[in-house]
Structure 1
Amino acid sequence: MNDRRAPEGELRCRDLGVEHQIRPIAIPTATPRFSWIAGHAQTGFRIVVTDAAGRTAWDSGRVDSGETSLVAYGGEPLDNGADYEWRMMSWSGDDMREARSSFGTAPDLGAWDAPWIEPVQQPTEIERWSLFDWIRGAGPAAPAEERLRPVQLLRQRFDLISAPVRARLRMTARGVYSAWLGGERVGDEVLAPGFDSYQHRISVQTYDVTDQLAAGANVLAVALADGWWAGRVGLTGSSAQFGDRTCATWRLEMSYADGRTEVIRSGDDVRSSLGPWTHADLFIGERLDARSPSFGWQTPGFDDAGWSPVQDRGVDAAALVPFSGEPVRRVLTLPAVDVRETPDGWIVDFGQVIAGRVRLTLHGLPAGREVIVEHTETLDADGAWFVNIAGINKEQTDTYISAGDAEIEWEPEFTFHGFRYARIRGVDTLSAADAVAVVLCSDLDYTGRFRTSDARLNRLHENVVWSQRANFLSIPTDCPQRERAGWTGDLQVFAPAATNNADVAAFLARWLENLRADQLADGRITITSPRSPFDADAAASAQGIGAIVAAAGWSDAIAIVPWTLYERYGDVRVLEENYDALRAWIGYQTRTAADELRDEYADASAERRSRQALLYNTGEHFGDWLTPSTLEGRPLHEAIGIAPALTSELVAPMFQTHTLTLAARIAEVLGRADAGELRAHADRVRAAFAAEYIAPDGSLPVELQGMYALALGLDLVPTSLRHAAGERLAELVRARGNRLDTGFLSTPYLLDALWDTGHRDLARAVLLQREAPSWLYEVDRGATTVWEAWDAIAADGTVRAVSFNHYAFGCVDDWLYCRVAGIRPASPGWRTAVIEPDLDAGVRSVEAAVPTPYGELAVAWEREGGTASIRVEVPHGVSARLVLPEEVRDLPPGRSTHELRVARAGSHIDQTDAQHAKSALP
């Protein structure tokens, strides 16, 4: 075959990735998948994988296919802990493009031979608090420095005859760590090894440290803090939830030019000491004393003669897993936008609520001077300091004690905070140039874009992205200041929006590994993950909401999140990995439905009891959590349980049906024999729900917007009654003054439920509503992230002590992309797509783009009176259609522009158009 190669400099294949990552050095799978972006109409590809010696491990040969995403490796078994190159060739007819990249494989952790080493000078104080303690605001009597644990320092000295040509440090800890070799920091990640369900999974990091080793004396230095393992985390802020003593294990693997190999393991030659950090806690903050005699401890020349030996706790590889996904890094820095002096210190405004910490440049402080940095997300109505997170162990305060340096730059090491404002004490003067906010998050690739002619909608979208960034930190959390817990309900409602803004495939696949590890033996999927032994004990000893282990809409994340990843990335493997866990959860729902009958149905007819035996509607659930009307006019401790009591009986079987429906689709994709059984089960439950809870006029027994939004959105309403149910939903919305009244679970479905039942103008009105509860109410009050409570700042400016950074209600961002901009997938992985812009959205113009496995899919539209211009860019590999009010056009790859006449706003809205071009996902 004669191939015409593209001239040098005209290569159009880019973003070569392995398992959703660019040049990973320790992928945690034996069968990696390869992806690339082809800037041409690919007709064939070839992948060649070679090892470090140049030997071919796999040559796919030419494959006549346009596929460029998640192509599975098909060669001989890959070696553990090895480096590989891969070369891909992509054809467009006879024209061929070629590009190269690399990847490494994870070590065989089953053969891990390095012991856990434990510093001996560790206090073991544990603070435990109940949910009741948190609600009443009970706190410790002693100040933080008297009840917190210091950071432990570790040093391992070794000599090398020569510098290695390849060196990998493989390391993890119970706690969080930072490491140095040759006096230089290892890697650029922070808070390693990250948050996992540690009793089941402890992630091992791999670092390329070849350039940090030299012939002669070397030292591996490690600082070890409590982190999520022993520090305070969760709603109550209790400590030592996984363990009360920190420890670490590592292997330094080296290869030399002459073919020799050498491994240095953690062991009894390691020395330990306390260091400059007198305490470090994720919640409370950290305190560093720069006068510590241990400064310089990371360098080979430091004298550690007075340091203590470590305790060898032996080799235990049972929970070790290779780290997957993206680590936490410093991803952005934000300058101060305002600095002002107050009697209580300098208040610095960084202009944006973030998760991270403050980096200060300190000038000429006398030795012993304490610089104290406090953090908050908001000020009060008068601009005074306001602590918005109440409860136990939530100080969010960092302290630096000066050594008397003329100038020093200081940033905390082992903590992070949720804040926009910092109050700084202990400095005589402070300029805007002296303070920088350092943004921490899992280092995802944020490439989605959304912008309109309406600045309010732009700010809403930016708020969602900032909340995603702050809460996608090691795991998907609910908030970055008060809990930092992996609530399953929050994530499942937000997952579709998250995929538009960033590549979250590997990040969420890692979290799903934790979720499966936390699944109970009876099939229950826990409401948070990672879940600690303390969480289990606390639930076992609690009553009511505090005793909930699994809940409808939360536990169903085991179906919803994998399906979302399949929809947006075409990733079949994520379905395979979660299928058994999903079936086990369905088994629990099914058994519970059959075994438990609600008291009010004890005397019902046999027919009705048989229907009830199909419905998972008993037990404690959160229901449609935080439904606004159920909270109004009541103290929080009274109101918080109203929505669960009102809605759980309906919500539980709604999500049971949804999970069964998704399971049937997943089984069909996987070719499982039980697909038909699952579909029939879903149909029986759906029919039972309709018979029990949907009246002949389409009404539901609970007259809340959320119940109708869920019933319609989850396809529980018979076709003959959908119009009536939609009309009732519209009536409820209008009765609230076109304001939403939906909770955590139903908010993602409200606008689509209105749209799909012919109430498009009403859906637009809810989106653009400016009175609370609404999205733009928050924007009008200066929100820079998504709030936990719609009225976190009251109309009179009064500020509530709640989280100002919860992404769950940011689920509306998916609507902005899918309906306002009009970009949505029509088949898994964006192989086919629909562009259907809402030219009556109430804005003059929209520009948006989403990342697809084949490149960026973008639309820009502008409307002026009776004309509209739509510009679309479709990547090769995606087949797209442009759906217009009067026609449907097939879109070619590349850029195209479409001009059309449009009727006056709303004139073409009817039921047929609302249903047109609905997603064709299986």
Structure 2
Amino acid sequence: MRWYFVFMVLLAFSCKEERTSPSGKTQLSVAQDWKANWVTIQSVLPEKNAWLAFRKSFEYKKDTSQAKLRLAVDSKYWLWINGELIVFEGGLKRGPTPDDTYYDKVDMTNLLKDGKNTVAILVWYFGKDGMTHKSSGKAGLITELYQSDQLILQTDDSWKAISHPAYISKSEDPQPNWRLPESNIVFDAQKDVPDWVQSDFDDSGWQDAKVICQGICPPWNQLVKRPIPFWKDFGLKAYGNTFNFPFVSKGDTIKCKLPYNAQVTPFLKVNSKAGERITMLTDNYKGGSEYNMRAEYITKEGEQSYESLGWVNGHIMYYVIPKGVEVLDLKYRETGYDTEFAGSIEVDDAFYNQMCKKAVRTLYVTMRDNYMDTPGRERAQWWGDVVLESGEAFYALDRKADALTKKGMLELMNWQRRDSTIFSPIPAGNWNQELPGQMLMSVGYYGFWNYYLNTGDLETIQKIYEPVKRYLSLWKLREDGTVNVRKGGWTWGDWGQNRDIPLLMNTQYYLALKGYAKLSEAVGKQNEADSVYHLMKGFKTAFNTKFWKGNHYRSMNYKGATDDRSQGLAVVSGLADKDKYDPIYKVLQTEMHASPYMEKYVLEALFMMGHDDFALQRMKQRFSKMVLNTTYSTLWEGWGIGAEGFGGGTTNHGWSGGGLTLLYQYATGIRPTSPGWNTFQIKPQPGPLKHIRAVVPSIKGDIRVELKNEESFILKVEIPKGTKASVYLPSSFKKVEVNKTGMAYTEEGPYRIFEVNEGSYTFIAKY
């Protein structure tokens, strides 16, 4: 356990059909025609953290037709073809529903050769539940290879299979905390099977695979095609600090710097006597007050190299290396969700640029099998976080990122219980509590509706519509016309102090109605939409009658300081009319209780009320500590870290990046006004900012905006093909030229609105 104490000291420093899931929820694309068998090994496996090796050689006649491999496991796999690693960590955590399993499809057309080929697969069976995984309870593999429509390879008892002897199922304590289905990875090189993935390896001493069942069968049940890309592999890289390799350890803990917070697998190359134990872990090993994953490697005699396959995250990788071990090389492999940082925003204030840089890094490190709150402590798809993360992704990332939001939406509604409740995080095997406020936000205006607004994906909306309707039917109105607060499993609301829960949930319920009404229109149910709009009208009257106290909103029995988060949500939802803006603005100048999660809505309310100067000022005031911190490249769970934070105080939490979205949507003013960005607006509210340059990678193409607000106001915009934009400029400008000429406009309040089609435009205005 020496490594543990050292570390703590350092810390002190193809054939598819649509079906309805068992509970009558949304439709999934499943493959019903599997001919292959589920197979496992003959010997007894550990209950958890088991590693299985499978091999099969076969003859293949290469031609111009396509070859496709379908493969499913519980829980993860690595795939080699003819000794070449093809898939680095395949498989997705279970599941698309509480009972079913994802499968992968791999294009093999250019990977197979004419004649003999060998496929080798290493399977990691978690064997335990977590907040991101529901274990099937059985380790297994199913795979089949098609050439065109002809089945040429399938798993059966002709495959060879063993329990990989080098992987030790149980590590020394401490174990990863209960939220994680992954275990510590311990590899004993003395028991390794060298070159077992190679074509010329002799597997005659291996046992035949054991057939469990054929095709679609329990406990894996229906097989649903992987809906997101395979991970991007950045390759093995040297750490940021340099080392004079080779060197002999004096019993050192070697501190290796990563360029930023990333999802990585550690690599080492050493020369050692047998039996030395090397421990690998990051500075995030106890991130969020709970133990996360670590890796251990037990050496064999001589020169050797090893890469631990389970990803961890952090800013620093620690190698705890025993005395006398010669270190030849240390590297890391970054992997992550396959998307590009396609959006960009830059302003003339270094603080906001640094905030956006950290927000994007935080967003990316919380994306993999699902959106996560944090990539260390739990890796869980909490939907309060997903709403904010997906909102950021529409501006910061390319459109491959949309698939992760879609996956999360379908999972959320396919895990809906028979009593119509929904809960997160899911997939999950050891959690089932509903957080009513987060669930309302997920199905509402900023959740499902925002997905449709940005993607125009009507098919997904049609799939989740009825489940959303069933969930909202659980919420009942009181005699006074406001909503009766549902306790759910955890009536949380937010971190931070002074949470007025009845007030907070009434605002969230209204946002859920607003989103549902718009979804109803989208799927052609106008009568339903009209009914909901009528309900919203009465609810708004009741809400203001009950909760408005003349200068702020407050519920009857709440005795704390005025809840800033609820005032903000009243504005952004539309419950608060403009006559209430001035007193709410006064409240938000002094009350600051929200966590970074809810602070986004407070800041958005300030922009919506026209106080962009103060919105940016408060943003800087609230986020300064984490933005200006030079140790961490990511944003935190709370306003401090560790004991100063909320919920464990992680240093990387997806919900803290809402300011990124606001700079795009309000400071620059770029927002869609119809689904799929067919129409959008550019309505800048730059506040004190004098120069903004932004690129939004919309579903219709890049939108580019550059604003200069100095002696004159210059706005340059590029509108993608097939779209239209409404450009808002203040009516206070004396004269506005568009491409050095005049242009017709309409008046709306304090704005002139110019309607422009695809193309490039330069607006020049004089004060």
Partner of 1:170: 70
1:157 aligns to what? Answer: 57
Shift of 1:618: 4.8
Give per-residue Cα distances to partners, 1:487-510, cap 9 Å, x unaligned.
112112332222111223222112
Aligned twin of 1:582: 468
d(CA) in 2 for partners of 1:521, 1:695: 40
* Shift, 1:231, TM fit: 4.4
Whether the aligned pair in 2 keeps the contact of 1:624 and 1:746 (CA below 8 Å) is no
Change in CA separation of 1:676 and 1:896 when aligned onto 2, cut-off 3 Å: closer
Q: Distance in 2 between matches of 1:418 and 1:211?
A: 33
**Cα distance between partner residues in 1 of 2:612 and 2:15:** 46
Distance 1:821 1:433 in 2: 50
Give yes or no for contact 1:363–1:407 (8 Å, CA) kept in 2: yes
C-alpha separation between the residues in 1 aligned to 2:15 and 2:654?
A: 30
Q: Work out whether residues 115 and 314 of structure 1, in 8 Å CA contact, stay in contact via their aligned partners in 2.
A: yes
Alpha-carbon separation, structure 2, partners of 1:897 and 1:663 = 38
The 8 Å contact of residues 289 and 642 in structure 2, kept in 1 or not, is answered as no
Whole-angstrom CA distance in 2 between matches of 1:108 and 1:433: 48
Question: Structure 1: how far apart are the matches of 2:258 and 2:485?
Answer: 48
1:686 counterpart (540, 556, 563): 540
SS in structure 1 opposite 2:403? helix
Q: Residue deviations 1:285-339, cap 9 Å, x none?
A: 4233334352211223222233233332212524211222222332477653336
CA-to-aligned-CA distance 1:793-829 (integer Å, 9 cap, x gap):
799xx99963111111211211011122222222222
1:277 aligns with 2:174: no
* Paired residue secondary structure (1:588): coil
Letter in 1 for 2:439: W
The gaps in structure 1 that reach 5 residues or longer are: 1-25, 31-105, 126-147, 378-385, 537-547, 594-608, 631-642, 903-922
Whole-angstrom distance in 1 between the partners of 2:274 and 2:341: 43
Structure 1-normalised TM-score?
0.70
In structure 1, the residue matched to 2:573 is 714
Candidates 421, 424, 430, aligned match of 1:527: 424
Q: Secondary structure at the match of 2:191?
A: coil
Q: Decide whether aligned partners of structure 1 residues 241 and 828 sit closer, same or farther in structure 2, where only a CA change above 3 A counts.
A: closer
The structural deviation recorded for 1:449 is: 0.7
Alignment of structure 1 residues 246-395 onto 2, 5 Å: 246-255=139-148, 261-275=150-164, 276-279=166-169, 283-317=182-216, 318-331=221-234, 335-338=238-241, 344-360=252-268, 362-377=269-284, 387-391=286-290, 394-395=291-292
**Aligned amino acid, residue 157 of structure 2:** D
Say which of 510, 513, 517 aligns to 1:660.
513
Query: Would the aligned equivalents of 2:637 and 2:646 in 1 still touch at CA under 8 Å?
Result: no
CA contact (8 A) 2:664 2:670 kept: yes
Aligned partner of 2:615 in structure 1 is 763
Assess if the C-alpha contact under 8 Å between 2:673 and 2:679 holds in 1: yes
Aligned to 2:34: 112
- Rounded to whole Å, the distance in 2 between the matches of 1:175 and 1:618 is 34
Q: Does residue 569 of structure 1 match 2:475?
A: no
TM-aligned CA distance change 1:339 to 1:698, over 3 Å: same
1:511 aligns with 2:408: yes
**Contact 1:195-1:475 at 8 Å conserved across structures:** no
- Shift in Å, 1:620: 5.3
Equivalent residue in structure 1 for 2:81, among 181, 184, 193: 181
Q: Which runs of 5+ in 2 are unaligned?
A: 1-13, 19-27, 171-175, 244-248, 732-751
Cα distance in 2 for partners of 1:891, 1:429 equals 71
Given that 1:193 and 1:203 are in contact with CA atoms closer than 8 Å, whether structure 2 keeps it comes out as yes
Distance 1:746 1:162 in 2: 57
Deviations 1:197-251 (A, max 9, x none): 4643312211121333344443321111024xx246339xxxx952333111111
2:494 to 625, 648, 656: 625
Deviation at 1:584, TM superposition (A): 0.7
Q: Give the SS at the match of 2:153.
A: strand
Match for residue 308 of structure 2?
412
Match of residue 401, structure 1, among 283, 295, 298: 298
Structure 1 residue aligned with 2:743 = none
| Structure 2 CA distance for aligned equivalents of residues 197 and 811 of structure 1 | 28
Superposed displacement of residue 265, structure 1: 1.5
Quote how far apart the aligned CAs of 1:858 are: 0.9
Selected match of 2:563 from 685, 699, 704: 704
Corresponding position of 1:552 = 437
Residues 1:779 and 2:635 are matched in the alignment: no
2:737 is matched with none
Q: CA deviation at 1:405?
A: 5.5
3-state secondary structure, aligned to 2:313: strand
Match of 2:480 in 1: 611
Aligned to 1:51: none
Q: Distance in 2 between matches of 1:432 and 1:878?
A: 58
Give SS of 1:349's match: strand
Specify the code of the residue in structure 2 equivalent to 1:768: K
Q: How many residue pairs get matched?
A: 697
* Equivalent in the alignment of 1:671: 524
Identity over aligned pairs, percent: 18
Larger mean CA deviation between 671-680 and 807-816 belongs to 671-680
CA distance in 2, matches of 1:487, 1:794: 22
Residue 808 (structure 1) aligned with residue 655 (structure 2): yes
**Is the aligned partner of 1:244 residue 2:137?**
yes
Kept in 2, the 8 Å contact 1:523–1:581? The answer is: yes
Structure 1 pair 734–676 and aligned structure 2 pair: CA distance change class (3 A):
closer
Alpha-carbon spacing, 1:122–1:805, altered in 2? closer, same or farther (3 Å): farther
Specify the SS of the correspondent of 2:287: coil
Distance in structure 2 (CA, Å) of the matches to 1:654 and 1:270: 58
